[in-house]
Structure 1
């Protein structure tokens, strides 16, 4: 057999996605390129790896066995590469982090210098919602997670990184009488929510219930970016993390609506299982964060003090 490592990578991605279209998007390749490599890989086996029923692609039982073997091969090759770098005196390995979706405005700044200093370290960062972050922790699938609400059901160690402030926000394209009470404002315009499982949504719903805000209509969006664009377009109002709207406030596209009891203040925390056995890479990253967090906050997030 003369299959290539690239063909193994492509077949594994097709197996994960069960779709050539989705696999091509994940690999940043064209669909014809993925289809061609999949065809060449299949030609080396007399038993089908995939089958199409209707318009849906399925992986055969044989294909699943080959995918599992392919993953083992790629993991061994990756281990060889890490060992080679280690013998050269480089910190080498993979750092796995799961972050709540709005944490994407925070975590990269605590990673950039570390990764520049350690070019042989690979990063795998899953950006998702709070529910999936907790699941990743529970199943020990990651080294660290970044959360604004610490899950009480898990025994975790934490490092506090940065304040998380949530304000009532709306688009400046909505005409607003500054004398109009917020309750009246919300009788005219809908409230925009993140999806279930989002820590931002949980905090927002608790505040709305406490304040007895009217909510004649709800609009639900499944990402912070989508919600932000909806606000800019004037679809309504929402309670949002300050961390994600810096440029929109500066450009005058969004505005903070003053209200007693706001902002809701929590903190972004780097967390890990208290029973976690760290790899050398994870241990080095934790040490870096503990030593450098105050500098990073001062250099990158000092604008927080203006709000």
Structure 2
């Protein structure tokens, strides 16, 4: 490959196409025509000397060469974004761009962090994406963001995950439920109840079902609801019980009973996640350092981790 024929614009076009997985959509976002983008992709493929993208029956697939070029292009463009930010810093300001993607339940945590972060670094432009776990996993697999927040991180050698905050899962019931106020209830006494569960693939559901399996317990009745807020309201209304993150209970206004069940809370954590295959940008590093230094000032002490858990990054936490 003759790098003299490459240009930043070619790389920018390629990265955008890969991110949206659609040539027409990328053309609209780049304010170009679809034929122009197609020609630039063809030119880039000719420069590299390899097929980069295969599109068959509306299925968008990157070849191995295409994936390697995407990583390299992201790295090059990110480095020049940092260079521009560093020039700005030398001129007296701190500036940069940062994309953070979090699962739905983390909306109760990340805004608390970003508020004071923005006060200290007003010139760092943060974009926050909130979606369910499957959607955030998709964003991680395609490396559309700099930093991710999961309660059940993805697996793989490329995953660097650091636990930052406790995320205990509690059993909740309506205030008038017969089990409210009883100490150390055995879960088998509750298994005939209807349980309101998040969607398949959600971290809280994965952990709850894993716990049930470890106890040899099978629920008799369940109902799927794709929203923590709707689950809280459903429990208040007597629709059923649920196992939910304690963070969602702090933020909710509904009056609920947290049941004292043997084996609960199920202990879990929020993990700050990034990919080892993506270079840590200046703005990303700034946010990570800010969290390390100021988290104790932002969240309640009850959520803070023990020092041995928070000591360093770990790879593939699901293998532990």
Unaligned runs of 5+ in 1: 1-15, 17-60, 72-78
8 Å CA contact 2:186–2:262 kept in 1: the answer is no
What residue in structure 1 maps to residue 272 of structure 2?
Answer: 270
Q: Do structure 1's residue 280 and structure 2's residue 279 form an aligned pair?
A: no
Paired with 1:283 and 1:181, the residues of 2 have a C-alpha distance of 45
Aligned counterpart for 2:188 among listed residues 172, 183, 201: 183
Residue 210 (structure 2) pairs with residue 206 (structure 1)? yes
Per the alignment, residue 158 of structure 2 pairs with: 155
In the TM superposition, what is the alpha-carbon distance from 1:87 to its structure 2 partner?
7.5
Equivalent of 1:142 in 142, 145, 149:
145
Does the 8 Å CA contact 1:90/1:118 hold for their aligned counterparts? no
Count residues in correspondence: 232
**Mapping of 1:205-224 within 5 angstroms?**
205-224=209-228
Residues 67/214 of structure 1: CA separation in 2 closer, same or farther (3 Å cut): closer
Give secondary structure in 2 for the equivalent of 1:89: coil
8 Å contact 1:193–1:238 — kept in the other structure? yes
Q: CA RMSD in A?
A: 3.1
Q: Quick check: 1:69 aligned with 2:68?
A: no
Closer, same or farther: CA 190–157 of 1 in aligned 2, 3 Å: same
SS in 2 for 1:264: coil
Instruction: Find the aligned partners of 2:272 and 2:29 in 1 and give their Cα distance.
Output: 34
Per the alignment, residue 11 of structure 1 pairs with: none
1:231 counterpart = 2:230: no
Task: Please give the per-residue CA displacement for 1:20-57, whole angstroms capped at 9, x wherever unaligned.
Answer: xxxxxxxxxxxxxxxxxxxxxxxxxxxxxxxxxxxxxx
The one-character-per-residue Cα deviations of 1:88-119 (angstroms, maximum 9, x if unpaired) are 53222321111121111111222211111222
* Matching of residues 232-271 of structure 1 within 5 Å: 232-248=236-252, 253-271=255-273
Q: Contact (CA 8 Å) 1:170, 1:231: kept in 2 or not? A: yes
Give the unaligned 5+ runs of structure 2: 1-19, 34-80, 305-320
1:192 Cα deviation from its structure 2 partner: 0.7
Contact 2:233–2:254, Cα closer than 8 Å, also in 1: no
Distance 1:270 1:66 in 2: 33
Query: Helix, strand or coil for the counterpart of 2:219?
Result: coil
After superposition, residues 98-137 of structure 1 pair within 5 angstroms as 98-137=101-140
Check whether the contact 1:183–1:214 (CA below 8 A) recurs between aligned residues.
Answer: no
Do the aligned partners of 1:91 and 1:121 also contact (CA within 8 Å) in 2? Answer: yes
Query: 2:165, 2:303 within 8 Å by CA — same for their partners in 1?
Result: no
Once residues 245 and 70 of structure 1 are traced to their aligned partners in structure 2, the CA distance between those partners, rounded to angstroms, is 47
> Which residue pairs with 1:301 in the alignment?
300
Distance 1:270 1:190 in 2: 33
In structure 2, relative to structure 1, the CA distance for the partners of 1:142 and 1:154 (3 Å cut) is: farther
What secondary structure sits across from 1:235 in the alignment?
A: coil
Alignment TM-score, normalising by the size of structure 2: 0.63
The 2-side partners of 1:203 and 1:66 are apart by 41
1:131-158 CA distance string (max 9 Å, x none): 2222222211111001112222242223
What CA distance in whole angstroms lies between the structure 2 residues aligned with 1:160 and 1:303? 15
Give the match's secondary structure for 2:291. helix
- Determine the C-alpha separation between the residues in 2 that align with 1:286 and 1:245: 26
Deviation of the 1:232 alpha carbon: 1.4
Shift, 1:209, TM fit: 2.5
